[in-house]
A and B are shown apart, each in its own frame.
Chain A
């Protein structure tokens, strides 16, 4: 028999033992569960494709749709985020707030644009410079090297960069479109088809005598309303294509074909790494103030840091022209008409720096202030200069601003004081051969010290008194307006899907411009999994560039493996060797029916999803039972 006390004790100890054991067991369970829960499990990879809606660009949204479908087919959840064109550039270029984007790149006059597009020093700067956030030491070395050298050596280095680029795929170059524009040949003569994206395309036109329609007035049509909203040459959101900035502002030199011709500069002379630029006499801005060497020096300093070295702020480089500006070490105005520009690069790249728009110091100096809007916090280094709409713009260009109606029209008038309208304009040139002439006599890799560049031939001038621009709702309506005789030229290229609707007739011509612009899928390399080059390469192989060129562009584009179009030749190349081609794109990267580096999985736009999935597994990704591609958090 057991006494009540022992009984009680036993029960107590039993309970205690049970309690302890139970708690112990529970604790073990919790630990295990905690370990399991805190191991971030893989989840389906989910991405957003940022692009613009069809009203802005049909091609981009169609490529985005195709990419979205193909990503879904390989088990990656993708959504499309169409943004208005301003918001698109703000998200991708300024805020770097994207996974991957489909968009248009304006291209450039020199392959050196790859430097600002990919060098790691720009990875965190807002603007057109390195939106991908790509960083790679070996790459940087090559990018810097091509800046210092010229001739064949530079071409070889560019070739190496393009090959490294094709291997790494920080962005996927898709196609180089052929730009089509409509123009009236019965109203104006002297059209230069190849320059219609730049200022030279709208200069030197001669009105046909007795032509129908308004006299001495060029009527331009655009579908991109941004030029009626903002005319700030520094703005990344508004100027992927700078025709109007080119007409309102002048630069020291202007791109003409494969080289640069003197513009505000009367001539320039190289000595070592310093180029001495002699300005034309009596230059002035649209507001009557004179344009001097001080304005030139100010421009380079301002583009380098729009706070002008304000110590209370952080450095705020302009969102554009960084390739050009970083090539410049120092600019000194030695007198009113002379500037000495010391560059850190070779001459080929150094001359490119002469193509930035010259800003009036008296207008822009006060824009170095940081923006303040009551009640809203604005990120440091946001100066007035990058956010102003700059209306009215005060430039020195061939046309001056008159008025605009937002999203409807823009009126410009010939700037009567423009240097190109003077009787002696262009007369100073002709006696000295330009280095850029492809006459084969100038084959030295480094031109002789002191070589002087002067223009040959007359300078094209603004020949029409008025340049009126009207915003058209769409490409089809632009074609209709041109057909009705309501326009003289379409500044915005006609969209590929509507080119077939154009009925050419006497006096109305459809002209194509071989452009250096390209379409791309850009990756945000800052975000996983785009930091992984194998992943980028495999995503690149989900894009059928040949199909895109044929079906989305209706054949008005060429598929490319590099961001430089095939057939683009180096203008200062070594012409003595007739055998070797001067093309920038190396033979290994030329299109031969399929992409030489990242061929499409499948054909004719139809994806071989099995092959693509196998490749994702091959590079280390896993699929769950539902076929979702998994991504560890």
Chain B
């Protein structure tokens, strides 16, 4: 098996265990029984939103391959665009990273490395399970819509902006951290990240998105909300501690998260991809003449 395969297996087993435990503790048996009974109905409710997210993720996967070249073409050749921000950010906060690294110790390194890979994936996947277990599909649809927006807006930033992270500018500072200590994780991260794409931090924005939505759903999941909050803060800190993101990227990530949550709650329920298709194509007779849903 390839190294990537081994790492993927390792991570999926780890995260699955975490999700199983969290489901037992947070969701509870009662909800699971009901969910199983209504499984297909609920799936039908969220299918359109999930489909949009899937399309965006697939497109994202392909686009990531060409984004760096596209960014360089734009930034080096279009005279008025110069969003190669590495130096601006480094000049602004290089000292902060040095200060942050002064707290470095092996315990923190292990903790934050674990959080950066396992904690982050768990934080993103678990709410999908938890919200699916709710009779009302709205929280899940909002979550998926917010993820979609994060990826779309993030990708646009990545095309326009070039920025290398701290580990690329101050390698001596972050030596012995994540990729030196656990180089195998790099097989995984390079599948999703290119090194010029650090502004904004998607680790931050997606984690904060989850935390904000967890706060909203605190009435139904009182146990999840503090866990999500703690994990999100840990993920945010880990990106900086491990030298992957600048504080600037993190701030931009938080703003992006807030924007996505606000937009998602406005869009969900008002605009649906199925409704859009129906409205557009029914008149032309492409979708047959099904009666409109109530």
Name the A residues within 8 Å of B65 (CB-CB): 406
Would you call B179 and A84 a contact (CB within 8 A)? no
Would you call A61 and B171 a contact (CB within 8 A)? yes
Q: A61-B169, A61-B171, A79-B87 are in contact. Are A474 and B186 (CB under 8 A)?
A: yes
Number of A-B contacts (CB under 8 A): 69
Stretch among A51-59, A168-176, A192-200, A619-627 lining the B interface: A51-59
Given the complex of chains A and B, what is the CA–CA distance between A86 and B196 in angstroms? 13
Q: Which chain A residues (338-395) contact chain B, with CB distance < 8 Å?
A: none
Would you call A480 and B171 a contact (CB within 8 A)? no
Q: Does A82 contact B (CB under 8 A)?
A: yes
Q: A53-B195, A81-B84, A473-B190 are in contact. Are A58 and B180 (CB under 8 A)?
A: no
Would you call B183 and A477 a contact (CB within 8 A)? yes
Name the A residues within 8 Å of B195 (CB-CB): 53, 55
Would you call A473 and B183 a contact (CB within 8 A)? yes
Name the A residues within 8 Å of B3 (CB-CB): 477, 481, 484, 486
Would you call A81 and B87 a contact (CB within 8 A)? yes
Contact with A along B172-206 (1 / 0, CB 8 A): 10010001100110110010000110000000000
Q: Which chain A residues (48-68) contact chain B, with CB distance < 8 Å?
A: 53-55, 58, 61-62, 65
Other-chain contact of B183, A90, A480, A486, A497 (Cβ < 8 Å) = A480
Given the complex of chains A and B, what is the CA–CA distance between A406 and B66 in angstroms? 11
Q: Does B234 contact A (CB under 8 A)?
A: no
Would you call A84 and B168 a contact (CB within 8 A)? no
Given the complex of chains A and B, what is the CA–CA distance between A406 and B84 in angstroms? 25
Would you call A476 and B86 a contact (CB within 8 A)? no
Q: A62-B172, A82-B169, A87-B76 are in contact. Are A53 and B183 (CB under 8 A)?
A: no
Q: How many residues of A contact B (CB 8 A)?
A: 29
Given the complex of chains A and B, what is the CA–CA distance between A479 and B181 in angstroms? 12
Q: Does A333 contact B (CB under 8 A)?
A: no
Would you call B91 and A84 a contact (CB within 8 A)? no
Would you call A53 and B164 a contact (CB within 8 A)? yes
Name the A residues within 8 Å of B179 (CB-CB): 473-474, 476-477
Q: Does B225 contact A (CB under 8 A)?
A: no
Other-chain contact of B171, A54, A80, A481, A486 (Cβ < 8 Å) = A54
Other-chain contact of B72, A54, A82, A84, A474 (Cβ < 8 Å) = A84
Would you call A80 and B167 a contact (CB within 8 A)? no
Contact with B along A66-92 (1 / 0, CB 8 A): 000000000000011111101100110
Q: Is the interface of B mostly helix, strand, loop or mixed?
A: helix
Q: How many residues of B contact A (CB 8 A)?
A: 27
Name the B residues within 8 Å of A80 (CB-CB): 86-87, 90, 169
Given the complex of chains A and B, what is the CA–CA distance between A54 and B243 in angstroms? 12
Contact with B along A462-490 (1 / 0, CB 8 A): 00000000000110110111001010000
- CB proximity of B177 to chain A, nearest CB, Å: 11
Q: Does B139 contact A (CB under 8 A)?
A: no
Would you call A82 and B164 a contact (CB within 8 A)? yes
Nearest neighbor of A57 in chain B, beta-carbon distance: B171
Q: Does B170 contact A (CB under 8 A)?
A: yes
- CB proximity of A225 to chain B, nearest CB, Å: 10
Q: A58-B171, A62-B171 are in contact. Are A82 and B86 (CB under 8 A)?
A: yes
Q: Does B127 contact A (CB under 8 A)?
A: no
Other-chain contact of A473, B68, B164, B187 (Cβ < 8 Å) = B187
Nearest neighbor of B172 in chain A, beta-carbon distance: A62
Given the complex of chains A and B, what is the CA–CA distance between A133 and B282 in angstroms? 67
- CB proximity of B197 to chain A, nearest CB, Å: 12
Name the B residues within 8 Å of A473 (CB-CB): 179, 183, 186-187, 190
Nearest neighbor of B164 in chain A, beta-carbon distance: A53
Other-chain contact of B180, A53, A83, A476 (Cβ < 8 Å) = A476
Name the B residues within 8 Å of A476 (CB-CB): 179-180, 183
Name the B residues within 8 Å of A481 (CB-CB): 3
Nearest neighbor of B87 in chain A, beta-carbon distance: A79
Given the complex of chains A and B, what is the CA–CA distance between A62 and B168 in angstroms? 10
Given the complex of chains A and B, what is the CA–CA distance between A473 and B68 in angstroms? 17
Other-chain contact of B168, A61, A79, A497, A498 (Cβ < 8 Å) = A61
Given the complex of chains A and B, what is the CA–CA distance between A618 and B184 in angstroms? 54
Nearest neighbor of B196 in chain A, beta-carbon distance: A84
Name the A residues within 8 Å of B171 (CB-CB): 54, 58, 61-62, 497
Would you call A55 and B168 a contact (CB within 8 A)? yes
Name the B residues within 8 Å of A498 (CB-CB): 180
Given the complex of chains A and B, what is the CA–CA distance between A80 and B171 in angstroms? 14
Given the complex of chains A and B, what is the CA–CA distance between A58 and B72 in angstroms? 21
Would you call A54 and B168 a contact (CB within 8 A)? yes
Name the A residues within 8 Å of B170 (CB-CB): 65
Would you call B90 and A53 a contact (CB within 8 A)? no
Q: Which chain B residues (135-184) contact chain A, with CB distance < 8 Å?
A: 164, 167-172, 175, 179-180, 183-184
Given the complex of chains A and B, what is the CA–CA distance between A497 and B3 in angstroms? 23
Nearest neighbor of B76 in chain A, beta-carbon distance: A87
Contact with B along A156-183 (1 / 0, CB 8 A): 0000000000000000000000000000
Most buried by B among A55, A474, A481: A55
Given the complex of chains A and B, what is the CA–CA distance between A476 and B182 in angstroms? 9
Would you call B168 and A82 a contact (CB within 8 A)? yes
Would you call A477 and B187 a contact (CB within 8 A)? yes
Name the A residues within 8 Å of B68 (CB-CB): 84
Nearest neighbor of B86 in chain A, beta-carbon distance: A82
Nearest neighbor of A495 in chain B, beta-carbon distance: B171
Name the B residues within 8 Å of A479 (CB-CB): 183
Given the complex of chains A and B, what is the CA–CA distance between A61 and B86 in angstroms? 13
Name the A residues within 8 Å of B86 (CB-CB): 80-82
Other-chain contact of B169, A54, A83, A87, A480 (Cβ < 8 Å) = A54
Given the complex of chains A and B, what is the CA–CA distance between A46 and B53 in angstroms? 47
Name the A residues within 8 Å of B183 (CB-CB): 473-474, 476-477, 479-480
Would you call A53 and B169 a contact (CB within 8 A)? yes
Nearest neighbor of B75 in chain A, beta-carbon distance: A87
Given the complex of chains A and B, what is the CA–CA distance between A497 and B76 in angstroms? 32
Nearest neighbor of A52 in chain B, beta-carbon distance: B168
Nearest neighbor of A87 in chain B, beta-carbon distance: B72
Q: Which chain B residues (53-105) contact chain A, with CB distance < 8 Å?
A: 65, 68, 72, 76, 84, 86-87, 90-91
Given the complex of chains A and B, what is the CA–CA distance between A484 and B86 in angstroms? 36
Name the B residues within 8 Å of A484 (CB-CB): 3
Q: Which chain B residues (30-68) contact chain A, with CB distance < 8 Å?
A: 65, 68
Given the complex of chains A and B, what is the CA–CA distance between A147 and B167 in angstroms? 45
Nearest neighbor of A486 in chain B, beta-carbon distance: B3
Nearest neighbor of A78 in chain B, beta-carbon distance: B87
Given the complex of chains A and B, what is the CA–CA distance between A134 and B266 in angstroms? 62
Name the A residues within 8 Å of B164 (CB-CB): 53, 82
- CB proximity of B262 to chain A, nearest CB, Å: 35
Nearest 4 A/B pairs, CB to CB: A477-B183, A473-B186, A53-B168, A54-B171
Mind listing 11 A-B residue pairs with CB under 8 Å? A53-B168, A54-B171, A65-B169, A81-B87, A82-B168, A84-B196, A476-B179, A476-B183, A477-B179, A480-B184, A497-B175
A61-B168, A79-B91, A82-B86 are known contacts; what are 16 more A-B pairs with Cβ within 8 Å?
A53-B168, A65-B170, A79-B87, A80-B86, A80-B87, A80-B90, A80-B169, A82-B164, A82-B168, A83-B72, A86-B72, A474-B186, A477-B187, A480-B183, A484-B3, A497-B171
